[in-house]
Amino acid sequence: MQNDLAHVQMQAIGRDGVLHEADVVLLVIDGSRPPTARDTTRLELTLSETNAPVHIALNKTDRAAPDSLAAWQEWIEAGNHGVLHPVSAQDGEGTDALLQALHEALPEGPFLYPEDDIATDPVRFFAAELVRETVFEQYGEEIPYSVFCQVEEFREEQDPVYIQVNVYVERASQKRILIGSKGHAIRALGQASREKIEHFVGRRVYLDLWVKPLKSWRKNRAHLGALGFQVPEEDGQGHK
């Protein structure tokens, strides 16, 4: 069953044209499952769709039977199907050498954006995400998944740069947790977030955090739309 699923995925890749566009192909094989004629025929058909260098990670070398590993190695080498890399994902054996080989095989591509652009998203987006990342780091399991951060104001002409970030939560009780006793938690959140943002923008930052309850915002289409999410339209019967 696993081999059939792998075949479906590889055939889908071939149909979508990804293999034709690939600079390097990495094939991961379960070394604990001896190859069958059906397996090798399908793999050969799929690999025939690319002219890119192929690297083959023969996985589970820590648990596979020697006969199974030897059979795969014989197929790879006899057909010159790619560069063999015996690895164990469980204990990491051979993975460093595999990554190094892939790095060396990848060609240096052209710049797709101006050299001084560090990303395609605006700085506002990253400022909000850095605050949310810090929420994940500093709070328990329940709070982070109910939090959405959005930059309300960004005054880069000032020194320090003024950034106001609204931190939306779903319940008033979550707001109290984020703020903490006498504001200790929100101050710690602000300090850690500010240091990350300053490192990112390379300037001093005044970070102003506002925690705002927005009841069940993750399930409310109007709230999601107001926060900038793309919400699928309903068909008139309440179906998306």
Which of 73, 105, 137 lies at the terminal end of a domain, its last residue?
105
Token pair belonging to 12? 């889908």
Least confident span in 12-26, 123-137, 182-196: 12-26
pTM of the model as a whole = 0.48
Domain containing 147 equals: 123-226
Strands 148-155 and 83-86, by their bridges, are: unpaired
Token pair belonging to 118? 């560090």
Angstrom distances, CA of residue 70 to CA of 35, 44, 78, 161? 10, 18, 12, 62
Asked if 88 and 138 sit in the same domain, the reply is no
Q: CATH no. for residue 174?
A: 3.30.300.20
According to the model, what pLDDT value does residue 43 have?
A: 92
Contact assessment for residue 135 and residue 144, using Cβ atoms and an 8 Å cutoff: yes
DSSP class of residue 214? -
Asked if 14 and 65 sit in the same domain, the reply is yes
**Residue 89 CB: number of other CB atoms within 10 A?**
14
61-75 residue pLDDT tens? 999 999 999 999 999
Asked if 136 and 60 sit in the same domain, the reply is no
Residue 127 falls inside a structural domain: yes
181: amino acid identity, one letter: S
The answer on pLDDT for 216 being more than 80 is no
Asked if 141 and 210 sit in the same domain, the reply is yes
168-206 residue pLDDT tens? 998 899 899 999 999 999 999 999 999 999 999 999 999
Q: What percent of the chain has pLDDT over 70?
A: 81
215: amino acid identity, one letter: K
The answer on pLDDT for 1 being more than 50 is no
Residue 184 falls inside a structural domain: yes
| CA R_g for the chain | 26
Asked if 174 and 205 sit in the same domain, the reply is yes
What residues does 209 pair with on adjacent strands?
165
Average pLDDT, the chain: 84
Domains: count for the chain: 2
How far apart, in whole angstroms, are the C-alpha atoms of residue 11 and residue 24?
A: 17
- For 71-100, give the DSSP string: HHHHHHHHTT-SEEEE--TTT-TTHHHHHH
- Residue found under tokens 């960004």: 154
Contact assessment for residue 31 and residue 67, using Cβ atoms and an 8 Å cutoff: no
The answer on pLDDT for 135 being more than 70 is yes
Contact assessment for residue 85 and residue 118, using Cβ atoms and an 8 Å cutoff: no
Asked if 76 and 167 sit in the same domain, the reply is no
The answer on pLDDT for 26 being more than 90 is yes
101-126 residue pLDDT tens? 999 999 887 766 666 555 545 888 89
According to the model, what pLDDT value does residue 190 have?
A: 95
The answer on pLDDT for 224 being more than 90 is no
Angstrom distances, CA of residue 57 to CA of 71, 93, 125? 14, 11, 37
